[in-house]
Amino acid sequence: MIIRRQLSRAIPRFTIAVAHASPSSYRPQLPTIQLAQPRFRGDKKKKKDVPSSATSRQSDIQAQQARTKQQEREDRRRELKRRTDRERAEARKTKVTPVLMDIETAARYLKAAEVGRPEKTATITITLKLALPLHFQSLRGTVRLPKLPQAERVAVFTEIPEIAEAALKAGATYAGGDELVNQVKNGEITFEKSFATPGALPLLRSVQRTLGPKGLMPSERRGTVADDVVGLLETSHGLLDLRTRGKILTAVIARASFTPKEIETNVSAFMAGFRKAIKNSTSRQAPLVSEIILSSTFGPGVMVLA
């Protein structure tokens, strides 16, 4: 009896449970599969580069350094302009100094300082101190002196023996081709001027670094290369080359053995050639002369009016 009662109680419970159970609950649950959509090239989105804090900090530092350098350049430019304007303003003023002399008086003092000195070594030099405008290029020109302070040594480079012989007769000190180039390369000769024919220019490539810094390299731009080098010798006789070195222009103007009048004539011709070179310059503002100084080899420097 006890067993039957328990079974009868258990069966309805079992049937109730089965009646409420869904048949689908016994099916295994499969994972959901999502199919990938086709991706086209135009649908791909670009990722935006988001700068990190370190990259942003580095960019700020670089920008600050660039601004600092730009400010430093501006400060240097303003300071250079102020200094240039100040120098040019001083150059316009009349110099008042007890040693300011006229050219003839200064020449007498300098000649007295060279008494007893060898005549070949005693020379008189003129020096111009210039007040240059901002961004001024070097000044170049030529001056024809009435009396040369020393005999010119001229070299003519040519590959034609007939032209070399004619150049020697016209007053050239040296003339030739390969042999002359080798002498220059070995330092056996020195000269103050040089000319060349167009055919001799390839020979000068080996001595270009020797002649170039001295301003002795023949070039068509300077008018020292031509087929008629004999004509160049005749037209260039007595010409003195002018070239500024920074704010200084200097040249040997005479010998101490010259008379004071000859020295004065050479100085006047030099200043006339200098003013002509300024006039032919392409600069908008002309350089101003702040000081003109005459000096001798063993004597003092004297400020003069010219």
CATH code (residue 231): 3.40.50.790
Q: Are residues 216 and 268 in the same domain?
A: no
Round to whole Å and give the CA distance between 160 and 176.
8
How far does Cα 125 stand from its chain's mean position?
A: 28
- Give the residue from 237, 260, 289 where a domain finishes: 237
Looking at the domain assignment, is residue 85 inside a domain?
no
Domain of 98, in residue numbers: 92-149+239-306
Looking at the domain assignment, is residue 186 inside a domain?
yes
- Give the residue from 217, 237, 257 where a domain finishes: 237
Q: Are residues 293 and 159 in the same domain?
A: no
Tokens at 235, concatenated: 């037209």
Looking at the domain assignment, is residue 188 inside a domain?
yes
Kindly tell me the burial class for residue 41, based on how many C-beta atoms sit within 10 Å of its own C-beta (0-12, 13-18, 19 or more). exposed
> Strand 140-144 and strand 154-157: pairing?
unpaired
3-state secondary structure 142-171: EEECCCCCCCCCEEEECCCHHHHHHHHHHC
Q: Are residues 187 and 247 in the same domain?
A: no
Q: Are residues 160 and 297 in the same domain?
A: no
Looking at the domain assignment, is residue 219 inside a domain?
yes
Looking at the domain assignment, is residue 28 inside a domain?
no
Looking at the domain assignment, is residue 215 inside a domain?
yes
Round to whole Å and give the CA distance between 84 and 30.
91
Round to whole Å and give the CA distance between 35 and 39.
12
Q: Are residues 206 and 226 in the same domain?
A: yes
Q: Are residues 210 and 259 in the same domain?
A: no
Q: Are residues 191 and 264 in the same domain?
A: no
Number of domains into which the chain is organized: 2
Q: Are residues 269 and 133 in the same domain?
A: yes
How far does Cα 237 stand from its chain's mean position?
A: 32
Looking at the domain assignment, is residue 185 inside a domain?
yes
Q: Are residues 245 and 228 in the same domain?
A: no
Q: Are residues 284 and 232 in the same domain?
A: no
Angle, vertex CA 70, rays to CA 67 and CA 74, nearest 5: 135
Round to whole Å and give the CA distance between 3 and 203.
135
Long-range contacts at 274-279 (CB < 8 A, ≥ 24 apart): 274/128, 274/141, 274/143, 274/242, 274/249, 276/141, 277/139, 277/140, 277/141, 277/142, 277/242, 278/139
CATH code (residue 264): 3.30.190.20
Round to whole Å and give the CA distance between 63 and 54.
14
Looking at the domain assignment, is residue 60 inside a domain?
no
- Give the residue from 207, 237, 267 where a domain finishes: 237
Q: Are residues 161 and 221 in the same domain?
A: yes
- pTM for this one? 0.59
pLDDT in tens, the chain (306 residues): 444 555 455 445 444 444 444 555 555 555 555 555 555 555 555 555 555 677 778 888 888 888 888 888 888 877 877 777 777 676 666 655 667 888 999 999 999 998 888 877 888 999 998 887 767 777 888 888 888 887 778 999 999 989 999 988 888 889 998 899 999 988 888 888 899 999 888 988 888 888 888 888 988 888 889 888 888 888 887 788 888 888 888 999 999 989 999 999 999 999 999 888 888 877 777 788 888 999 999 888 999 887
Q: Are residues 306 and 157 in the same domain?
A: no
